[in-house]
């Protein structure tokens, strides 16, 4: 046992000495060439050389700049709000307007000017990947469905702000969509602003059915159907509107596209709406359809329309768009049967959505008194359903989502028994979207 311990002790000592010797030899091999020369000339000892080299390396290490820290990849900013807020998309715009009129015999100096504004603000919230809800508020007179404008007058009175949209929208597939409530229908159907003023928000439901699609010249065929609630009666039948459109789109090669279609609107009990206008409860357009001595409409309104829309977008700065509509009231009676036709045409060149770009637009409106039901027609012509009007627009893109717009209307009645004055109306707008 004692012999074993002695042997192990000797092995340990020998191993340690060998390691130290190897370290010294290794250190000697790693000496700076100048220090190695001094040792070889017996000017300094090996130990002194090693000590000098250790001190030199320590100084160099202290003076060397610290290695750059590894960059940590940027992390997404931590959200400091509930995740459900991401489901909401804000929408809205504000329009500031100067407007002038000229009509012989209507004003003391044959001219009138006013300043107006329109504010629309709301949101759309995604409930699921196929369901959305929306809400929007607008200023304006709540009794006027065809205008959201408010004039700067009234001695600084507060302006009214009203519920303009409140809807539920579902789209479970590309071939079917449904929207219910009070909503802006522009994205769902194809209409002119002659038949339906841009400020109108309908109430009821609207559906879209994708019937067919193709990869060649034929692109799609779809059906739009709708039912709108107009006026509820405590006794008797309510006033409603039922209608639909069949539309087809085509690729014409290159950057050319064509949409054609036909629509039909059946107004049920429109007299209830005319009574609201006559009593003053419904503002906006005046009654321009034919009525008898008792204020009763002469015609029913079953309006057939055909439309076509052509686009050429080969130039991104100067795209071209042509739009045509034809209207005929199949329910016209009596004097209305001889005044039951309407037309609308528009040509637009340019695109104003980018800063510094221009768009020019000309529109022609023509409607005999009973071609269209008066109530929701273009309000700016001032003639309702009895109008022949020329409209010119010049639009200029400005910073961000804003543009300037100059519009001029020249309007006169088609049926001139009541009045024959021509109205000139000009508008200068600045619109900012947010």
Q: What are the tens digits of pLDDT across the range 44-85?
A: 777 777 777 777 776 666 665 666 665 655 555 566 888 888
CATH number of domain containing 205:
2.40.160.10
Dihedral sign for Cα 278, 282, 283, 284, please. negative
Residue 77 placed within a domain = no
- On whether both 200 and 159 belong to a single domain, the answer is yes
Residue 82 placed within a domain = no
Q: What is the pLDDT of residue 69?
A: 63
- On whether both 160 and 290 belong to a single domain, the answer is yes
- On whether both 225 and 332 belong to a single domain, the answer is yes
- On whether both 142 and 105 belong to a single domain, the answer is yes
| 346, 308 contact by CB (below 8 A) | no
Residue 255 placed within a domain = yes
Residue 224 CA to residue 415 CA, distance in Å, equals: 33
Q: What is the pLDDT of residue 41?
A: 72
Residue 79 placed within a domain = no
- On whether both 200 and 296 belong to a single domain, the answer is yes
Regarding beta strands 402-412 and 256-268, do their DSSP bridges make them parallel or antiparallel, or are they unpaired? unpaired
Q: What is the pLDDT of residue 226?
A: 99
- On whether both 164 and 19 belong to a single domain, the answer is no
Residue 68 placed within a domain = no
Residue 372 placed within a domain = yes
- On whether both 92 and 44 belong to a single domain, the answer is no
- On whether both 32 and 121 belong to a single domain, the answer is no
Q: pTM of the entire structure?
A: 0.79
H-helix or E-strand spanning residue 328: strand 320-329
- On whether both 48 and 103 belong to a single domain, the answer is no
Residue 107 placed within a domain = yes
* Nearest one of 304, 237, 299, 239 to 265, comparing CA atoms: 304
- On whether both 165 and 45 belong to a single domain, the answer is no
Residue 110 CA to residue 222 CA, distance in Å, equals: 49
Write the DSSP symbol of residue 297: B
Among candidate residues 63, 78, 95, the one where a domain is terminated: 63
- On whether both 130 and 47 belong to a single domain, the answer is no
Q: Which residues of the chain have pLDDT under 50?
A: 1-27
Q: How many domains does the chain have?
A: 2
| 233, 217 contact by CB (below 8 A) | no
- On whether both 330 and 273 belong to a single domain, the answer is yes
| 179, 201 contact by CB (below 8 A) | no
* Nearest one of 110, 411, 121, 100 to 285, comparing CA atoms: 411
Residue with tokens 């409860």: 281
Among candidate residues 12, 30, 63, the one where a domain is terminated: 63
User: Which domain does 30 fall in, by range?
Assistant: 2-63
Among candidate residues 21, 48, 63, the one where a domain is terminated: 63
| 329, 317 contact by CB (below 8 A) | no
Residue-wise DSSP of 234-255: SSSPPEEEEEEEEEEEEE-STT
Residue 71 placed within a domain = no
Q: What is the pLDDT of residue 105?
A: 60
Hey, what are 84's tokens?
A: 């459900």
């Amino acid at each position: 046992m004692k012999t074993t311990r002695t042997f192990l002790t000797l092995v340990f000592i020998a191993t340690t000495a060998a390691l130290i010797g190897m370290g010294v030899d290794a250190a000697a091999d790693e000496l700076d060439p100048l220090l190695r020369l001094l040792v070889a000339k017996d000017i300094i000892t090996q130990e002194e050389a090693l000590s000098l080299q250790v001190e030199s390396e320590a100084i160099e290490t202290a003076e060397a700049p610290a290695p750059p820290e590894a960059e940590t990849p940027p992390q997404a900013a931590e959200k400091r709000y509930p995740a459900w807020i991401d489901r909401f998309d804000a929408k809205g715009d504000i329009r500031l307007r100067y407007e002038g009129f000229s009509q012989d015999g209507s004003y003391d100096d044959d001219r009138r000017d006013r300043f107006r504004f329109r504010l629309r603000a709301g949101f759309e919230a995604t409930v699921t990947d196929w369901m959305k809800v929306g809400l929007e508020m607008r200023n304006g007179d709540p009794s006027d469905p065809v205008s959201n404008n408010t004039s700067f007058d009234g001695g600084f009175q507060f302006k009214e702000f009203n519920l303009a949209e409140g809807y539920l929208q579902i789209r479970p597939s590309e071939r079917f969509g449904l929207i219910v409530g009070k909503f802006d229908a522009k994205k769902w159907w194809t209409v002119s602003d002659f038949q339906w003023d841009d400020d109108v928000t309908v109430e009821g439901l609207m559906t879209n059915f994708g019937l067919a699609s193709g990869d060649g010249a034929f692109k799609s065929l779809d059906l739009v159907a709708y039912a709108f609630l107009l006026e509820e009666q405590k006794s008797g039948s309510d006033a409603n509107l039922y209608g639909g459109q069949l539309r087809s789109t085509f690729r014409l090669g290159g950057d050319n596209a064509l949409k054609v279609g036909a629509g039909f609107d059946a107004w049920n009990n429109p007299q209830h709406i005319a009574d609201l206008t006559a009593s003053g409860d419904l503002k906006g357009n005046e009654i321009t359809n034919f009525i008898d001595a008792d204020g009763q409409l002469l015609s029913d309104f079953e309006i057939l329309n055909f439309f076509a829309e052509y686009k050429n977008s080969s130039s991104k700065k100067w795209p071209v768009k042509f739009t045509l509509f034809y209207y005929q009231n199949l329910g016209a009676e009596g004097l209305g049967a001889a005044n039951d036709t309407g037309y609308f045409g528009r040509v637009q060149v340019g695109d104003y959505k980018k800063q510094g770009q221009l768009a020019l637009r000309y529109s022609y409106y023509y409607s005999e008194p009973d071609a269209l039901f008066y109530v929701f027609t273009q309000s700016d012509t001032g003639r309702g359903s009895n109008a022949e009007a020329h409209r010119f627009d010049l639009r200029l893109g400005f910073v961000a989502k804003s543009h300037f717009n100059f519009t001029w209307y020249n309007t006169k009645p088609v049926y001139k028994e009541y009045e024959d004055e021509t109205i000139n109306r000009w508008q200068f707008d600045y619109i900012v979207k947010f």
